[in-house]
Amino acid sequence: MKNKFGNNPLILGGALVKFGAYRNGSHWRDRVRQVAGQALLQAQLERNDIDALVVASESDILSLQVNPAAVVASDLGLNQCAAMRVEGGGASGAMALRSGVMHILSGMAKRVLVLGFDDAASRLSSADTRFLYALSFDTDIEGFAGVSAASLYALSINCHMRMYGTTQMQMAAVAVKNRANAMFNPDAHKPMRITIEDVIRSPNVSSPYNLLDCSLLSDGAAAIVLSAPHAAPRTELERVQISGSGCAVDGVHLGDRTEPHRFVAKTNAAKRAYEMAGICDAAKEIDVAEVYDAFSGAEIQGVEALGLAAEGQGGPATIAGEFDLAGRIPINLSGGLMGQGGSPGSVGIAQAITVSRLLTKTYHQGIQPTQALHRGVIDAHGGVATLCVVHVLEKV
């Protein structure tokens, strides 16, 4: 299916490292070289076949590298191609993917290497990293005032709970599901077999969120190769195309939003992606999804914003098993940020790799749904769904 811009970009290859805390003396540049080489090998391309490089990295402080696109291009021997760095908080990897799509659709590049990395687990203490993440909100009004990401997400989900009756048990079901899914993912940071009671009894972080409601700080890297259809090597293997891409922004301050319980920007980004992909009813036309689960309640708010569940029904649908492996729409089979891990520059790219492998039945054994999968959606955001990016992937 062609969109209004032309032929949909194809995913030729992708690779990611195991997310985790790398305290073995390795460097993010080691991981970047690894995933880039593996992605190019899978794509059946050489380095000189790449026209453009897009690099995602959320924080110069975490990487200790300003202008990482030039450094990465040099490390990979891509000195003659176009290169740029993209940053959008937790949506950094997704923004890089969107930039790669735009390169292809505009005709400015035929083949693009999209690469993301961040070391969020090993370079600084957890407290320092959480403080840096707080600066992705309004630094002057919130960040330096000591407001944390957890407290802002908690305010939003508390509004959702009052509006719809969403419960801690429903949110805990998200944490249980995602960490259990990660048990089948060898690239996952922290797979766990836990119960709803374990989540509810874990230490409080910011009410209603407890420790096991929270996602992980992870080191990671991921790379994906996009191509215009006419520039792709011939193959008998099934391929996946990116048929929709949408982006939208909301007010930075929750207090400025008329509906702080809703992820309005995510809804708008999804509408744009769905329109581009020709989707009329996401709940019926999407087969699988990777949804940004910075906190358990954020997944519930996310599935509603993406149109995968009706407003106020994300919690009941989750606890009823609708988003389990054998459910109506399997969600976060990778384990999400809770199980696979949270490396902001890598997440959006890793999501695309996961869904493309699920669509082509090349994902990890034990977590591949038995039902036929034709179309998936991936979603990431920065802030409390402040900057949202949504992509639709389809099997060709």
Written as six digits, the tokens of 197 are 């009671």
E strands, the chain, are 10-16, 52-56, 82-86, 111-119, 204-206, 209-210, 219-227, 240-249, 288-290, 375-382, 387-395
Q: What is the DSSP string of 237-262?
A: S--EEEEEEEEEE--SSGGG-S-TTS
113 by DSSP, 3-state: which?
strand
Q: What is the pLDDT of residue 258?
A: 96
Over its length of 396 residues, how does the chain's per-residue pLDDT go in tens digits? 445 445 899 999 999 999 999 999 999 999 999 999 999 999 999 999 999 999 999 988 888 899 999 999 999 999 889 999 999 999 999 999 999 999 999 999 999 999 999 998 998 888 888 888 888 888 888 878 888 999 999 999 999 999 999 999 999 999 999 999 999 999 999 999 999 999 999 999 999 999 999 999 999 999 999 999 999 999 888 999 999 999 999 999 999 999 999 999 999 999 999 999 999 999 999 999 999 999 999 999 999 999 999 999 999 999 999 999 999 999 999 999 999 999 999 999 999 999 999 999 999 988 989 888 999 999 999 999 999 999 999 999
Q: What is the pLDDT of residue 6?
A: 54
Q: What is the pLDDT of residue 3?
A: 52
Written as six digits, the tokens of 317 are 């649908």
Which residues on adjacent β-strands are paired with residue 56?
A: 86, 116
CATH of domain 10-124+217-231: 3.40.47.10
Q: What is the DSSP letter of 224?
A: E
CB 185 within 8 Å of CB 177: no
Rounded Cα distance between 64 and 72, Å, is: 13
| Residue among 391, 349, 246, 330 at smallest CA distance from 17 | 349
pTM of the model: 0.96
Residue length of the chain: 396
Rounded Cα distance between 312 and 305, Å, is: 10
Q: What residues does each domain of the chain span?
A: 10-124+217-231
Query: Which one-letter amino acid corresponds to residue 138?
Result: D
